[in-house]
Amino acid sequence: MSDIQAKIAEIEAEMARTQKNKATNYHLGTLKAKLAKLRSELIDGPGGKSSGTKNAERGFDVTKSGDTRIGLVGFPSVGKSTLLTTLTGTRSEAAAYEFTTLTCIPGTMKYKGARIQVLDLPGIIEGAADGKGRGRQVISTARTCNLILVVLDAAKPVTHKKIIEAELFSFGIRINQTPPNVRVVKREKGGVGYQELVRQTKGMNVDVCRMVLKEYKISCAEVILREDITVDQFIDVVEGNRSYIPVLYVFNKIDALTIEELDILDQMPNYVPISSANKWNLEELMEEIWTRCHMIRIYTKPKGQMPDYEEPVILHSESNPTVEEFCNRLHKHLINQFSHALVWGRSAKHQPQRCGRDHVLEDEDIVQICKKVG
């Protein structure tokens, strides 16, 4: 075990034996800040991302393609390769032994006109974030995905779910969370300014804030808290390298379960039960992928012709896509010749509506682009 891992284990042991109350809040905050900093050094190297470590694993070299990217993460032999083959038709070797997949296998799934890239990643094991079993490569690639599918064997203990969550958390992935509404602005002088726009009930205060910033060698900054957050969330903001990715739990091999066991699983949030071998419930899985990736379809309409419903332009609703973004998806120079757009659909007040480049589009809108004359 390396020196950094030994220090991490020591701090975790001290946190475990420290009681949680108001008197120990400052001490626990200090330990959490030190722990987060050590974990960052373990992943990125002592000098940060640019320096790396001697044996750093930087993910698999897979070119991003399609309208969105999802990754299949899970323990070995849970049916990830079979699921990839069923969804995309891409051949990924599947066998009855573990670690059949040793590298990243990409495939493309088509759904509602969208091309969705699916990555079959090698199985991870406990300790993956520390580099065991090519774990860093797997999780580094998972950070580039718009959605992570955690594939679990429905017949095995649900504790596997907790282990995978812990590994993703250790690598800086925050699952099914949104970035905290907190602003930390570094400045050259003036000390630490601290403002609470919302009353803090989860352990944050000015002393904890200054202690965390001191641990990261930040002596002058303006901190504004616009929501009630924990110390861990504040440390995430200071680190600035966290990935907030939606996760969907896919329980595979449900053909081995009874109805009573399925009823128990049904109480779990963010999950879809499937059987990739028997192709059960795959339609619900694809619909959940579509919803959680916030994809919308925009149809093009050439002048004097019918709209093209076969090949829609796929945008993401979470970024409030505008007509300008739609033009950039068609061609990067099209916006320079843009005059106005005619829009039919939910976003239009009347059919059609003449719109400018800042008009926000909605799902299944029809857009006709009109260029400048001359």
Give percent above pLDDT 90 in the chain. 48
How much is the average pLDDT of 245-269? 89
User: What's the pLDDT band for 284 if we cut at 50, 70, 90?
Assistant: very high
The pLDDT tens digits for 20-52 are 777 787 788 888 888 888 877 766 655 554 444
Of residues 76 and 103, more confidently modeled: 76
Residue 55 scores a pLDDT above 70: no
| Region label for 131, one of left (φ > 0), alpha (ψ between -120 and 50) or beta (otherwise) | left
**223 within 8 A of 195, measured Cβ to Cβ:** yes
The pLDDT tens digits for 95-151 are 444 455 567 888 999 999 999 999 988 878 776 556 665 667 788 888 889 999 999
| Nearest-angstrom CA–CA distance, 111 and 246 | 19
Full-model pTM: 0.81
Worst-scoring range by mean pLDDT, 87-91, 286-290, 325-329?
87-91
The pLDDT value given to residue 64:
82
Give percent above pLDDT 70 in the chain. 88
The pLDDT value given to residue 48:
52
Q: Output phi, psi for 185, to 5 deg.
A: -115, 115
Residue 69 scores a pLDDT above 80: yes
Q: How far is CA 299 from CA 47, 79, 112, 337, 352, in A?
A: 48, 36, 12, 20, 14
The pLDDT tens digits for 147-169 are 999 999 988 888 889 999 988 88
Residue 59 scores a pLDDT above 80: no
| Nearest-angstrom CA–CA distance, 131 and 124 | 10
Backbone CA torsion sign across 153, 156, 158, 160: negative
| Region label for 170, one of left (φ > 0), alpha (ψ between -120 and 50) or beta (otherwise) | alpha
Residue of 274, 230, 244 lying closest to 78 (CA atoms)? 274
| Nearest-angstrom CA–CA distance, 278 and 306 | 40
| Region label for 331, one of left (φ > 0), alpha (ψ between -120 and 50) or beta (otherwise) | beta
